Protein backbone atom coordinates (compact mmCIF):
# COMPACT_ATOMS: atom_id res chain seq x y z
CA UNK A 1 0.00 0.00 0.00
CA UNK A 2 1.31 3.45 -0.94
CA UNK A 3 1.96 6.17 1.62
CA UNK A 4 -1.03 8.18 0.33
CA UNK A 5 -3.33 5.16 0.54
CA UNK A 6 -2.15 4.42 4.06
CA UNK A 7 -2.97 7.97 5.18
CA UNK A 8 -6.44 7.72 3.67
CA UNK A 9 -7.00 4.40 5.43
CA UNK A 10 -5.91 5.93 8.75
CA UNK A 11 -8.26 8.88 8.28
CA UNK A 12 -11.11 6.53 7.40
CA UNK A 13 -10.39 4.40 10.47
CA UNK A 14 -10.25 7.53 12.65
CA UNK A 15 -13.61 8.66 11.26
CA UNK A 16 -15.25 5.28 11.79
CA UNK A 17 -14.26 5.23 15.47
CA UNK A 18 -14.95 8.89 16.27
CA UNK A 19 -18.15 9.50 14.30
CA UNK A 20 -20.45 7.49 16.66
CA UNK A 21 -19.06 9.37 19.66
CA UNK A 22 -19.54 12.73 17.95
CA UNK A 23 -23.12 11.80 17.06
CA UNK A 24 -23.78 10.76 20.67
CA UNK A 25 -22.33 14.04 22.02
CA UNK A 26 -24.50 16.06 19.65
CA UNK A 27 -27.58 14.02 20.57
CA UNK A 28 -27.18 14.13 24.37
CA UNK A 29 -25.61 17.57 24.86
CA UNK A 30 -25.69 20.05 21.96
CA UNK A 31 -29.21 19.31 20.72
CA UNK A 32 -30.79 19.50 24.23
CA UNK A 33 -28.78 22.68 24.86
CA UNK A 34 -30.14 24.31 21.70
CA UNK A 35 -33.66 23.21 22.69
CA UNK A 36 -33.09 24.81 26.10
CA UNK A 37 -32.23 28.11 24.43
CA UNK A 38 -35.37 27.81 22.30
CA UNK A 39 -37.70 27.02 25.20
CA UNK A 40 -36.21 29.82 27.32
CA UNK A 41 -37.72 32.26 24.82
CA UNK A 42 -41.21 30.79 25.12
CA UNK A 43 -44.13 30.53 27.51
CA UNK A 44 -44.68 26.79 27.85
CA UNK A 45 -46.24 24.50 30.43
CA UNK A 46 -44.40 21.37 29.24
CA UNK A 47 -47.59 19.77 27.88
CA UNK A 48 -48.91 21.86 24.99
CA UNK A 49 -47.54 21.08 21.55
CA UNK A 50 -46.97 24.67 20.49
CA UNK A 51 -45.07 26.86 22.98
CA UNK A 52 -45.82 30.58 22.74
CA UNK A 53 -42.82 32.65 21.67
CA UNK A 54 -42.36 35.64 24.01
CA UNK A 55 -38.77 36.65 23.29
CA UNK A 56 -36.74 37.87 26.27
CA UNK A 57 -39.74 38.36 28.58
CA UNK A 58 -38.69 35.41 30.79
CA UNK A 59 -35.26 36.94 31.38
CA UNK A 60 -36.74 40.38 32.06
CA UNK A 61 -39.07 38.91 34.67
CA UNK A 62 -36.24 36.94 36.29
CA UNK A 63 -33.94 39.94 36.71
CA UNK A 64 -36.56 42.58 37.44
CA UNK A 65 -39.45 40.98 39.28
CA UNK A 66 -38.60 37.52 40.66
CA UNK A 67 -37.98 37.83 44.39
CA UNK A 68 -37.64 34.05 44.77
CA UNK A 69 -34.78 33.94 42.25
CA UNK A 70 -33.02 36.85 43.98
CA UNK A 71 -33.21 35.21 47.41
CA UNK A 72 -32.19 31.84 45.94
CA UNK A 73 -29.20 33.46 44.22
CA UNK A 74 -28.16 35.15 47.48
CA UNK A 75 -28.47 31.85 49.36
CA UNK A 76 -26.38 30.08 46.69
CA UNK A 77 -23.64 32.76 46.83
CA UNK A 78 -23.38 32.58 50.63
CA UNK A 79 -23.43 28.79 50.57
CA UNK A 80 -20.80 28.57 47.80
CA UNK A 81 -18.35 30.94 49.50
CA UNK A 82 -18.57 29.23 52.89
CA UNK A 83 -18.54 25.74 51.39
CA UNK A 84 -15.46 26.37 49.23
CA UNK A 85 -13.46 27.92 52.06
CA UNK A 86 -14.44 25.50 54.83
CA UNK A 87 -14.27 22.23 52.88
CA UNK A 88 -10.84 23.05 51.45
CA UNK A 89 -9.34 24.28 54.73
CA UNK A 90 -10.66 21.29 56.67
CA UNK A 91 -9.60 18.87 53.91
CA UNK A 92 -6.04 20.24 53.97
CA UNK A 93 -5.87 19.91 57.76
CA UNK A 94 -7.18 16.32 57.59
CA UNK A 95 -4.76 15.49 54.80
CA UNK A 96 -1.83 16.79 56.85
CA UNK A 97 -2.84 14.63 59.81
CA UNK A 98 -3.55 11.51 57.75
CA UNK A 99 -0.36 11.91 55.73
CA UNK A 100 1.57 11.15 58.91
CA UNK A 101 2.69 7.61 59.56
CA UNK A 102 0.01 6.59 62.04
CA UNK A 103 -1.14 3.04 62.75
CA UNK A 104 -4.77 3.90 62.02
CA UNK A 105 -4.13 6.05 58.95
CA UNK A 106 -5.72 3.61 56.48
CA UNK A 107 -8.81 3.14 58.63
CA UNK A 108 -9.23 6.87 59.16
CA UNK A 109 -8.89 7.59 55.44
CA UNK A 110 -11.58 5.02 54.69
CA UNK A 111 -13.83 6.38 57.43
CA UNK A 112 -13.69 9.93 56.05
CA UNK A 113 -14.12 8.80 52.43
CA UNK A 114 -17.09 6.43 52.94
CA UNK A 115 -19.71 9.24 53.27
CA UNK A 116 -18.71 10.50 49.82
CA UNK A 117 -19.75 7.16 48.32
CA UNK A 118 -23.32 7.74 49.52
CA UNK A 119 -25.74 9.87 47.54
CA UNK A 120 -26.43 13.31 48.98
CA UNK A 121 -30.14 12.48 48.86
CA UNK A 122 -29.58 9.50 51.17
CA UNK A 123 -27.24 11.53 53.38
CA UNK A 124 -29.87 14.27 53.59
CA UNK A 125 -32.57 11.87 54.78
CA UNK A 126 -30.18 10.32 57.33
CA UNK A 127 -29.26 13.69 58.79
CA UNK A 128 -32.90 14.82 58.72
CA UNK A 129 -33.71 11.91 61.03
CA UNK A 130 -30.71 12.82 63.22
CA UNK A 131 -31.67 16.51 63.46
CA UNK A 132 -35.34 15.82 64.17
CA UNK A 133 -35.26 12.70 66.37
CA UNK A 134 -31.66 11.90 67.22
CA UNK A 135 -30.95 15.35 68.63
CA UNK A 136 -34.15 15.22 70.67
CA UNK A 137 -33.01 12.00 72.35
CA UNK A 138 -29.51 13.39 72.90
CA UNK A 139 -30.99 16.54 74.43
CA UNK A 140 -33.09 14.53 76.86
CA UNK A 141 -30.14 12.38 77.93
CA UNK A 142 -27.45 15.10 78.11
CA UNK A 143 -29.45 18.22 78.90
CA UNK A 144 -27.41 20.26 76.41
CA UNK A 145 -29.31 23.19 74.94
CA UNK A 146 -27.84 22.86 71.45
CA UNK A 147 -29.75 19.62 70.93
CA UNK A 148 -33.05 21.33 71.81
CA UNK A 149 -32.69 23.87 69.00
CA UNK A 150 -34.82 23.59 65.87
CA UNK A 151 -32.00 22.92 63.43
CA UNK A 152 -34.31 22.58 60.43
CA UNK A 153 -37.05 24.95 61.57
CA UNK A 154 -35.13 28.24 61.88
CA UNK A 155 -33.66 29.97 58.80
CA UNK A 156 -30.16 30.52 60.18
CA UNK A 157 -29.85 27.05 61.67
CA UNK A 158 -31.29 25.45 58.53
CA UNK A 159 -28.59 27.14 56.46
CA UNK A 160 -25.90 25.88 58.86
CA UNK A 161 -27.40 22.38 58.72
CA UNK A 162 -27.33 22.27 54.91
CA UNK A 163 -23.74 23.54 54.89
CA UNK A 164 -22.62 21.10 57.59
CA UNK A 165 -24.18 18.05 55.94
CA UNK A 166 -22.66 18.95 52.56
CA UNK A 167 -19.18 19.35 54.05
CA UNK A 168 -19.52 16.15 56.10
CA UNK A 169 -20.46 14.15 53.02
CA UNK A 170 -17.81 15.50 50.63
CA UNK A 171 -14.77 16.30 52.74
CA UNK A 172 -13.29 12.83 52.20
CA UNK A 173 -13.12 13.40 48.44
CA UNK A 174 -11.11 16.62 48.79
CA UNK A 175 -8.97 15.04 51.51
CA UNK A 176 -7.87 12.32 49.06
CA UNK A 177 -6.89 14.96 46.48
CA UNK A 178 -4.77 16.80 49.04
CA UNK A 179 -3.16 13.61 50.33
CA UNK A 180 -2.08 12.82 46.77
CA UNK A 181 -0.67 16.33 46.51
CA UNK A 182 1.20 16.03 49.80
CA UNK A 183 2.78 12.75 48.73
CA UNK A 184 4.19 14.46 45.63
CA UNK A 185 6.06 17.07 47.70
CA UNK A 186 9.79 16.13 47.65
CA UNK A 187 11.12 15.07 51.04
CA UNK A 188 14.51 16.64 50.36
CA UNK A 189 12.95 20.10 50.31
CA UNK A 190 11.37 19.51 53.71
CA UNK A 191 14.65 18.17 55.08
CA UNK A 192 16.58 21.15 53.69
CA UNK A 193 14.12 23.57 55.29
CA UNK A 194 14.41 21.72 58.59
CA UNK A 195 18.20 21.97 58.46
CA UNK A 196 17.88 25.71 57.79
CA UNK A 197 15.86 26.03 60.99
CA UNK A 198 12.35 26.36 59.56
CA UNK A 199 9.58 25.22 61.90
CA UNK A 200 6.51 23.16 60.91
CA UNK A 201 4.33 26.21 60.24
CA UNK A 202 6.96 27.96 58.12
CA UNK A 203 7.66 24.75 56.18
CA UNK A 204 3.96 24.39 55.44
CA UNK A 205 3.41 27.94 54.17
CA UNK A 206 6.73 28.31 52.31
CA UNK A 207 7.12 24.82 50.83
CA UNK A 208 4.11 22.54 51.18
CA UNK A 209 1.32 24.99 50.38
CA UNK A 210 2.88 26.42 47.17
CA UNK A 211 3.53 22.88 45.90
CA UNK A 212 -0.11 22.00 46.62
CA UNK A 213 -1.23 24.57 44.05
CA UNK A 214 -2.39 21.97 41.44
CA UNK A 215 -4.40 20.13 44.10
CA UNK A 216 -5.91 23.40 45.33
CA UNK A 217 -6.90 24.33 41.76
CA UNK A 218 -8.70 21.01 41.26
CA UNK A 219 -10.37 21.06 44.66
CA UNK A 220 -11.57 24.65 44.43
CA UNK A 221 -12.87 24.00 40.91
CA UNK A 222 -14.83 20.95 42.07
CA UNK A 223 -16.11 22.69 45.20
CA UNK A 224 -17.15 25.74 43.19
CA UNK A 225 -19.16 23.87 40.58
CA UNK A 226 -20.75 21.53 43.13
CA UNK A 227 -21.75 24.35 45.50
CA UNK A 228 -23.32 26.52 42.79
CA UNK A 229 -25.38 23.55 41.60
CA UNK A 230 -26.42 22.41 45.09
CA UNK A 231 -29.83 20.77 44.97
CA UNK A 232 -30.12 17.20 46.27
CA UNK A 233 -29.16 17.84 49.89
CA UNK A 234 -31.72 20.68 50.07
CA UNK A 235 -34.42 18.52 48.52
CA UNK A 236 -33.97 15.73 51.06
CA UNK A 237 -32.96 17.71 54.16
CA UNK A 238 -35.07 20.88 54.28
CA UNK A 239 -37.25 20.81 51.15
CA UNK A 240 -36.40 24.49 50.72
CA UNK A 241 -37.81 25.41 54.13
CA UNK A 242 -38.43 26.97 56.45
CA UNK A 243 -40.49 29.37 54.36
CA UNK A 244 -38.31 29.07 51.28
CA UNK A 245 -35.19 30.37 53.06
CA UNK A 246 -33.03 27.48 51.83
CA UNK A 247 -33.96 27.67 48.17
CA UNK A 248 -30.87 27.42 45.99
CA UNK A 249 -30.92 28.50 42.33
CA UNK A 250 -31.02 24.86 41.22
CA UNK A 251 -33.89 24.08 43.62
CA UNK A 252 -35.77 27.18 42.47
CA UNK A 253 -35.40 25.98 38.86
CA UNK A 254 -36.73 22.55 39.85
CA UNK A 255 -39.69 24.09 41.69
CA UNK A 256 -40.71 26.36 38.80
CA UNK A 257 -40.21 23.73 36.13
CA UNK A 258 -41.61 20.55 37.66
CA UNK A 259 -43.92 21.77 40.42
CA UNK A 260 -45.36 24.94 38.89
CA UNK A 261 -45.21 23.66 35.27
CA UNK A 262 -43.42 26.81 34.07
CA UNK A 263 -41.11 24.98 31.69
CA UNK A 264 -40.18 28.00 29.58
CA UNK A 265 -39.51 30.13 32.64
CA UNK A 266 -37.54 27.33 34.32
CA UNK A 267 -35.34 26.74 31.28
CA UNK A 268 -34.55 30.47 31.19
CA UNK A 269 -33.32 30.22 34.79
CA UNK A 270 -31.35 27.07 33.93
CA UNK A 271 -29.67 28.91 31.06
CA UNK A 272 -28.71 31.76 33.39
CA UNK A 273 -27.26 29.26 35.87
CA UNK A 274 -25.27 27.57 33.08
CA UNK A 275 -23.75 30.87 31.92
CA UNK A 276 -22.95 31.90 35.50
CA UNK A 277 -21.19 28.60 36.25
CA UNK A 278 -19.27 28.80 32.96
CA UNK A 279 -18.03 32.36 33.56
CA UNK A 280 -17.11 31.78 37.21
CA UNK A 281 -15.21 28.56 36.51
CA UNK A 282 -13.27 30.14 33.63
CA UNK A 283 -12.24 33.05 35.87
CA UNK A 284 -11.32 30.70 38.73
CA UNK A 285 -9.24 28.38 36.57
CA UNK A 286 -7.44 31.31 34.92
CA UNK A 287 -6.50 32.87 38.26
CA UNK A 288 -5.43 29.62 39.91
CA UNK A 289 -3.45 28.37 36.90
CA UNK A 290 -1.54 31.65 36.88
CA UNK A 291 -0.75 31.19 40.57
CA UNK A 292 0.47 27.66 39.84
CA UNK A 293 2.99 29.04 37.34
CA UNK A 294 4.14 31.69 39.84
CA UNK A 295 4.51 29.04 42.56
Q: Give 217: exposed, middle or buried? Use CB within 10 Å, 0-12, 13-18, 19+.
A: middle
Q: Give the pLDDT of residue 3.
A: 64
Could you read off the pLDDT of 74-83 as tens digits, one per residue?
999 999 999 9
Residues 264/51, Cβ–Cβ less than 8 Å: yes
For the chain, how big is the Rg over CA atoms in Å? 25
Low-confidence ranges of the chain (pLDDT < 70): 1-5, 292-295
Query: Which ranges in the chain belong to alpha helices (H)?
Result: 3-25, 31-40, 57-65, 67-98, 105-117, 120-129, 135-142, 155-183, 187-195, 200-203, 209-211, 213-228, 232-237, 249-254, 263-294
Contact partners, residue 192, CB within 8 Å, separation at least 6: none
Contact partners, residue 190, CB within 8 Å, separation at least 6: 203, 207, 208
Residues 271/200, Cβ–Cβ less than 8 Å: no
Q: Give the pLDDT of residue 2.
A: 62
Among 183, 187, 180, which residue's Cα sits nearest to residue 215? 180
Please tell me the pTM assigned to this model.
0.87
Q: Give the pLDDT of residue 1.
A: 52
Amino acid sequence: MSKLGRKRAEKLEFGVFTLPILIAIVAVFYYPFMMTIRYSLTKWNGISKNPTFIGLDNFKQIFMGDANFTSAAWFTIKYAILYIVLVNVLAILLALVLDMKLKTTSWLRAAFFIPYILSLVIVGFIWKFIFMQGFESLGESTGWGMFALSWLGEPGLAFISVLFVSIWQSIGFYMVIYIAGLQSVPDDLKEAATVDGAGPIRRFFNITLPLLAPSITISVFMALTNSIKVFDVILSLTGGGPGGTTYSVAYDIYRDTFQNNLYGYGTAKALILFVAVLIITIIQLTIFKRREVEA
